[in-house]
Structure 1
Amino acid sequence: MTKYLMGIDNGGTSSKAAIYDINGNEIAKHTTYTTMLTPHHYWTERDMNELKEVNFEAIRGALKKSGIDAHDIVGISCTGHGNGLYLMGENGSVVRNGIISTDNRAHRIVDKWLADPKYETDVRPRTYQTVWASQPVSLLKWLDENEPDVYEKTKYVFMITDLVRYWLTGKAGFELSNASGTSMINQQTEDYDEKVFDFFGIKNWLKKMPKLVNANDECGQVTAETATATGLIEGTPVAGGLFDITASALSTGLVEGNNLSIVTGTWSINQYISKEIKVIKDLFMTSDYPIPGYHLITEASPTSGSNLTWFINTFMGPIKAELKKEGKMSIYDYCSSLVNSVEPADSKLIFFPFIFGSNAGVANATAGFVGATKSTSLGEFVRAVYEGVVFAHMAHCEKLNSINPDISGPIRIAGGITNSNTWLQMFADVFQCPLELVDVSENGALGTSMAAAVMSGVYPDFATAADKMVKISRTIQPNPANARIYQQKYALYKKELQGMHGAWKTMEDTELEEPVLENK
């Protein structure tokens, strides 16, 4: 029989199921969406019942589109956004809304932790990463302080990968690559660290943590109930799965050290793998990698291509509607044409791509344009968005190069911006490095399907799976003529960003008073 693999990927608002053959060719995919709930400032949540249904809908949709016999799926694996928080009660009961990885309600708790000298002596040497507001340690502490009744209602603490696997199999587990990015794990022992939990003041939550599982472990089989709801076959094995940044790295073929991988989307993900890990202050994350001896070294922030989607939806709605009516050009192709109408040297407009979060090193830095005048054209605004996203990636990669000066060779790039030749060329010109474009439409789903392939014995290990399933479609060469202008514009971006620190702090500290209505 022909063998197939299924990868399931949950982002901040979308859920995708994709089916691949064992050579990594996509047979079918189906995408569904959940509503992002923002009941309070800094909160980003989702309804758990809706999330379950859209995942099952994605599976049904992919199976229907593929036309394959579900008996031929030899393994399933899940991935999804790291961090955030998904709590499960007894017998699969919902405790509260799930919390997405862009949530920032716990930022004041994190500020206190990072200001404590013991963080550098007791925590960072164990976790090898910087704690942030939407990691589960921060959110659990926030829940203890603000929703204390949640603890008794909770049986399991999950990441979204673990949650979807639980819905498929009824078995609980906490996958290691996900866990290693949560500030809960000792990177040396690859186990929960009681001293770290104690520092964060959440030691009681250790009782709610599921057992740790590996990415390619068989962690259960599809239950009869799930089979009925999805069209899958009861007994189909389900792998531990992967953290989405790990899955994305594998989908770009990242199997050797000193090679740089960039994945664009909501998150700017920039990473390489290394056999040597170091305690480095302000490094975003060191996490487990499923190739023996390697760790994934990551710089990331929610500062990538979704800023363009926000700009389009906020300011270009009528244009988008008209283009859809005409059916001649997508709004994204139209944006690229606007960018091409403005030469790099024609505009000094700057955009900070911090709609969903920042990498500015300042709590609650916000997005904005600097340098607009009455004569600034729409093309200049869109170009500034494109450039701002590239510059945010560049800032992360500069930090990675300072950690490992031996990073070299073409950059493997994937994600949403690869649909734009204009944006790809801009990346190549800013970095002055060739880009190898990976032929994949769903990085997370392809990467995590490799866990299913290794689990089911299709391939002996992840390196072999990546070699067989990843394909390079083309290479984009940098234009040396644009090197100097982008050096100048990037330097201007960094200078203006530093100048904004005081303004962001003032905005954060300013409390606006409600108007007082006089009684008549």
Structure 2
Amino acid sequence: MRYLMGLDNGGTFSKAAIFREDGVQIASKSAAVSLFTPAPGFRERDLEELWQANAAVMRGALDESGISPQDIAAVSFSGHGKGLYLVDKEGKPLGRGILSTDSRADDIVSRWEKDGVAEKSRRYTCQPISACQPTALLAWLKENEPDLYARIGHVFSVNDYIRYRLTGEAYSEYTIASGGGFVDFQKKGYNEELLSLYGLPEMQDCLPPLKYSAEAAGSITAESARLTGLAPGTLVAAGMFDIDACGIASGLATPDDLCLIAGTWSINEYIADAPVDGEPTTRNSFFCEPGKFLVEESSPTSAGNLEWFIRTQLAEECQRAKAEGKSIYDLTNQWVAETEPDKNDVIYLPFLNGSSTENHASGVFFGLSASTTKAEVVAAVYEGVVFSHRRHVERLLLHRSRPQKVRLSGGAANSPVWTQIFADALQLPVESIAGKELGALGAAMAAGVAAGIYPDLSTAANQVVSTAAFVQPRKQMQSIYEKKYQLYCRLEDNLCSIWHR
């Protein structure tokens, strides 16, 4: 029996999971990575701590599995897109890693929108510019930290950085690089004209060669083997953007499919045979299957809002739940299940890290009164996250047919109550996917293709993907959620001018 390891690096945790060839998970480990916020809008992590966390979860997963390191056929990666991870000209970590929720480059993006750079770049990249993309972050560093900028050796994503530490070889790959604004869709590669448009021509030599997701991209070195427990020489595949990994691990295979990922980001996506000239907020990137494109509507507005509320407002409830051997999520799910949507007037806008249309948007609770309970506020958070997803879905549906169902993954998919709200608010059946580590599973599928276990990712998906639940929308809830959703949209639209100022 051969096994596959997938690494998944999101905005908070680093995870490693080991899977059998049939997709059954046999071990997993995760570790939190510290977040630094040295200034408003900054979201950073220490690069050495990140590497040590990855090494620790790899070793931990191997120990838990009880298998020999030699039984791991290959390793690959799923990671958040955008953000920025740098090494210097000697290959040493340079500064801190920057996360995809960072907004320090807002003013640069505003300037690019005014002077036409954003419009011109979209002709190459088929997507809008955002402040968390590496292009905007590099421009910010060039203006604000020129000494650090001059020392850049390689421009990496989080996947690229961890892969580099494991193999000593510098590569990037198409899904994340195209989502980061570096790839000319016509040339299917880097373009000096595009970099010059951003004011970054000197970065041409700092962008690593591009690989496809399931291509071999090195092997485990003796030094990284010592730290991770993996066998030296173990094959390493390039890996992919976590939205691709969760998509392919959810069975996203044809243009008819529509996949929603409710994690830190609200990701709403489908695959197409060609880039789509959609709404101003619509993004295209290369899909993990060569020749396909991922059409995406997204914003940092999803289940991370619940994590924020729990962390900042439910400390006492967390302690009580822990003492009783329960999960805080059991409590929040119970609260929401017991709250009647038509009697709860609280509306929540989940814009703690901005929205897709306004970088300066902020989170808002509307409709609070002296009688409002914590349960009603938590229910509003659940609903607000769903409404943000719905708004993205409606933009996608302007340019494609309505699906028969949607597939849901991410943290919210673990909650039957939340899944039901998705079905009711969208008035579509919702299929949730079995398994909690879909990002790691998507990465393991890429590793399996590179190792020759599967001929391609579509075949891998057919062999390993299984569904956990199928939830039908309740017709009687349609008018209730429609009314609340329309108020949500009016609030967002009316506040945009205030946020912009």
Bin of the TM-score, shorter chain as denominator length: over 0.9
- Measured after TM superposition, the shift of residue 284 of structure 1 is 3.6
1:339-368 superposed Cα distances (whole Å, 9 cap, x missing partner): 122211101211011123323x12210002
Q: Which moved more, 1:434-443 or 1:100-109?
A: 434-443
Q: Is the contact between residue 414 and residue 440 of structure 1 (CA under 8 Å) also seen in structure 2?
A: no
Aligned: 1:434 with 2:432? no
Q: Secondary structure at the match of 2:110?
A: helix
Gaps of 5+ in 2: none
- Measured after TM superposition, the shift of residue 14 of structure 1 is 0.8
Counterpart of 1:516 in structure 2 is none
Aligned: 1:456 with 2:451? yes
Q: Is the contact between residue 75 and residue 453 of structure 1 (CA under 8 Å) also seen in structure 2?
A: yes
Aligned: 1:37 with 2:36? yes
CA distance in 2, matches of 1:188, 1:480: 45
Counterpart of 1:353 in structure 2 is 350
Aligned: 1:192 with 2:190? yes
Q: Please tell me the residue identity of whatever aligns with 1:355.
A: L
Q: Please tell me the residue identity of whatever aligns with 1:417.
A: A
Q: Please tell me the residue identity of whatever aligns with 1:117.
A: G
Counterpart of 1:152 in structure 2 is 150
- Measured after TM superposition, the shift of residue 12 of structure 1 is 1.1
Q: Please tell me the residue identity of whatever aligns with 2:426.
A: F
Counterpart of 1:379 in structure 2 is 375
Counterpart of 2:267 in structure 1 is 269
CA distance in 2, matches of 1:437, 1:326: 29
> CA 1:224/1:426 → structure 2, altered by over 3 Å: closer, same or farther?
same
Q: Secondary structure at the match of 2:14?
A: strand
Aligned: 1:339 with 2:307? no
> CA 1:223/1:124 → structure 2, altered by over 3 Å: closer, same or farther?
same
Q: Is the contact between residue 258 and residue 274 of structure 1 (CA under 8 Å) also seen in structure 2?
A: no
TM-score, structure 2 as length reference: 0.98
Q: Is the contact between residue 76 and residue 443 of structure 2 (CA under 8 Å) also seen in structure 1?
A: yes
- Measured after TM superposition, the shift of residue 281 of structure 1 is 4.7
How many residue pairs get aligned? The number is 501
CA distance in 2, matches of 1:148, 1:388: 40
Counterpart of 2:475 in structure 1 is 480
Q: Please tell me the residue identity of whatever aligns with 2:77.
A: C
- Measured after TM superposition, the shift of residue 118 of structure 1 is 5.1
Identity of paired residues, percent?
41
Q: What are the equivalent positions in structure 2 for 1:500-515 lying under 5 Å apart? A: 500-506=495-501
- Measured after TM superposition, the shift of residue 430 of structure 1 is 0.5
CA distance in 1, matches of 2:274, 2:53: 40
> CA 1:148/1:118 → structure 2, altered by over 3 Å: closer, same or farther?
closer
Aligned: 1:125 with 2:151? no
1:218 is aligned, of 191, 216, 219, to 216
TM-score, structure 1 as length reference: 0.94
Aligned: 1:397 with 2:396? no
Counterpart of 1:47 in structure 2 is 46
Q: Secondary structure at the match of 1:393?
A: helix
Counterpart of 2:294 in structure 1 is 296
Q: Secondary structure at the match of 1:394?
A: helix
- Measured after TM superposition, the shift of residue 69 of structure 1 is 0.9
Aligned: 1:412 with 2:407? yes
Counterpart of 1:104 in structure 2 is 103
- Measured after TM superposition, the shift of residue 283 of structure 1 is 3.0
Counterpart of 1:92 in structure 2 is 91
Q: Please tell me the residue identity of whatever aligns with 2:269.
A: Q
Q: Secondary structure at the match of 1:114?
A: helix
Q: Secondary structure at the match of 1:92?
A: coil
Counterpart of 1:10 in structure 2 is 9
> CA 1:283/1:358 → structure 2, altered by over 3 Å: closer, same or farther?
closer
Q: Secondary structure at the match of 1:82?
A: coil
Q: Secondary structure at the match of 1:155?
A: strand
CA distance in 2, matches of 1:254, 1:395: 21
1:293-333 superposed Cα distances (whole Å, 9 cap, x missing partner): 32000111111111011111111111111121122x32111
- Measured after TM superposition, the shift of residue 196 of structure 1 is 1.3
Q: Please tell me the residue identity of whatever aligns with 2:490.
A: K
Gaps of 5+ in 1: 507-520
- Measured after TM superposition, the shift of residue 441 of structure 1 is 0.6
Q: Secondary structure at the match of 2:455?
A: coil
CA distance in 2, matches of 1:27, 1:253: 21
Counterpart of 1:21 in structure 2 is 20
- Measured after TM superposition, the shift of residue 59 of structure 1 is 0.4
Aligned: 1:203 with 2:198? no
Q: Please tell me the residue identity of whatever aligns with 2:450.
A: M
Q: Is the contact between residue 102 and residue 132 of structure 2 (CA under 8 Å) also seen in structure 1?
A: yes
Q: Is the contact between residue 177 and residue 287 of structure 1 (CA under 8 Å) also seen in structure 2?
A: yes
Counterpart of 1:362 in structure 2 is 358
1:259-279 superposed Cα distances (whole Å, 9 cap, x missing partner): 100111111111000113233
1:72-121 superposed Cα distances (whole Å, 9 cap, x missing partner): 1101001211010011123431211111111000001001112233532x
Counterpart of 1:66 in structure 2 is 65
Q: Secondary structure at the match of 1:339?
A: helix
CA distance in 2, matches of 1:358, 1:38: 19
Counterpart of 2:251 in structure 1 is 253
Q: Is the contact between residue 260 and residue 270 of structure 1 (CA under 8 Å) also seen in structure 2?
A: yes
Let me know the Cα RMSD of the aligned residues: 1.2
Counterpart of 2:225 in structure 1 is 227
- Measured after TM superposition, the shift of residue 476 of structure 1 is 0.6
Q: Secondary structure at the match of 2:404?
A: coil
1:237 is aligned, of 235, 245, 256, to 235
CA distance in 2, matches of 1:430, 1:142: 39
CA distance in 2, matches of 1:5, 1:485: 46
Q: Is the contact between residue 352 and residue 361 of structure 2 (CA under 8 Å) also seen in structure 1?
A: no
Counterpart of 2:79 in structure 1 is 80
Q: Which moved more, 1:348-357 or 1:215-224?
A: 348-357
